[in-house]
Amino acid sequence: MARRPLPRILSKDSAQIARTQIARSRELARTAADSATDVLHPLITVTRGLRRLGSAGRRKWADTPKDKRGPLLFLVASLFLVVALVPYGPLLAVITVMAAAAWQGRDRTPAEPEGPDETQKERLQSLYEALVPYFTGAEDPAPLYAHGGDWEKVFSAPEFDDAGRVGHLVIRYPAYFPDGEAPARARIEQLLTAKAGRGREYHFSWDEAGNQLAVTALAPLPADIPAQHFVTAPGETVLGFTDPSEVQRTLPLSYGEEEIDVPPVVWRTGIRSTEPHLLAMGHPGSGTSTLLRSIALQALQYGDVLIVDGGGTGEYACLTGRNGVLGVECALPGALASLEWAAQETERRLIAINLARQAGDPPPEDTRRPLWLLLDRPTVFTHLATTEGRKEPQTLLQVPLRHGRAANVTVVVAEQFDGAEALSDGVRQHTRARVVLGAATSRQVEAVLGVPPHTTTPAHVPPGRGYARLGSGPVHRLQVPRTPDPYDDATSDADRQAVLELLPARATAAEPGPGDLAKPALEKTPAIAEAMAAES
């Protein structure tokens, strides 16, 4: 009996050819559909007109009183009889009906006016006049910009929003304009922000080679996406969400009762990460604690978390005693003990990994599980440690910061701008992933990220809104997922339930953490009691 040949597995080249053929077939089908639509357009118009005439006749018959329907039928029958008896009557009747159907079936959508209207032209002319002092040279024999000049020769692709403000515009400027200097760019961007319409966030794209500037008004990022499980791989952490044009990846999320795809800002940690540690800066109420809670909930899926809260506000009490949470320290003795243990644990992991490599064995299992050190406002302990004559806590971060990537130890530091000067050099040097949240100025953003933001600061900054930069990559707009403290009285029931569903189960017999000392019992406020009741 002859054997059936096994199905041939498509190679990379054959798969590429198959995809090309599919794309070509789709293009041919789309072209054929467009051609058929053009050819059958008169028939489609007449059919649409007949349907509208029929609908009008049915409405007329429904509106006619019952006592008058008999005379109406007699009149219609008389007309049909007259048309049938008149020479060429049926032919003329068909031509008349087709003409009426063609007239009724025409496309009634009003044609959009080409180009801007008078009000929009006045706005563009005003913007042109405002740019004249900046884009005009005294020795230019044929300047592009001159008072009373024509804006159409320098402005292209203008778009406006519903309020009549500029939504997109491409501006030509002379080649001698110093577009490579930051102060010169800043002056133009500030002018365009004021003239195009305040209260919005603008993106400026400078094309130095083509001497063009593209101005785009950006839509606000969604600030009400709740905390939830993100479809990510181990070692990937979602910092927040950004513009669709900035990243080539989307995540499926639950947004109210809908399922949407949102572009995320993904931070990769681990042995192969080039940005193993993160620094987040912001003002009070900017959302840095929200970012740490979001990172902690994601890290607990695959690793252990140790939290040091220098603010002492108790915003991480919901994580106390959970599986995978080694400790939540709010006092100086516990913070010092925890960080000292973290440094020793990093050294132990390095030694174990080195011995395993020398023996030709894989790394031990306990060194593969990620360890996360989350520090909220560690500079608060600096003054306390100096006063009490203790070791400064940030010095204990040298080993985890320097060798954490090889030992699967990740450090995340959140600090406010008023304590930025107290950050140690080790934290500044080894935190290559940076986040700035809140209403920060361009200079503050540049001081943290290394480059100025590519967009203007919005008028209203919700909590968790800011910028992110991973290493030497581009600056992304960022909106942190809404992850409030579930024990806060101001937290809504929906947000509280969303966070509680992400929390790990409480440890049945919790062992004392590396820095656990005698701590007073947490007072059960109504919000805490309600959250604990919801968990049980």
CA atoms within 13 A on the CB side of 208: 6
294 among the known binding-site residues? no
State yes or no: 245 annotated in a binding site. no
Query: Is 286 labelled as part of a ligand binding site?
Result: yes
Q: Is 90 exposed, middle or buried (0-12, 13-18, 19+ CB in 10 A)?
A: exposed
Q: Which residue has 């024509």 as its token pair?
A: 150
The count of C-alpha atoms lying within 13 angstroms of the C-alpha of 166, restricted to the half-sphere facing its C-beta, is: 29
**What is the DSSP annotation of 101-166?**
HHHHTS--SPPPPSS--HHHHHHHHHHHHHHTTTS--TT-SS-S--TT--GGGTEEEEEE-TTS-E
Establish whether 283 is an annotated binding residue: yes
Find out whether 210 is annotated in a ligand binding site.
no
Alpha-carbon distances of 527 from 69, 410, 500, 504, rounded to whole Å: 71, 32, 13, 19
492 marked among binding-site residues: no
Q: Are 189 and 226 in contact (CB under 8 A)?
A: no
Q: How far is CA 341 from the centre of its chain?
A: 37
Reported as type and span, the H/E element at residue 19 is helix 12-39
User: Max alpha carbon distance in the chain (Å)?
Assistant: 118
Say if residue 288 carries a ligand binding annotation: yes
Q: Where are the alpha helices (DSSP H) in 376-503?
A: 380-388, 398-403, 425-430, 442-449, 493-502
| Residue 419 among known ligand-binding residues | no
Question: Binding-site residues for ATP, please?
Answer: 282-289
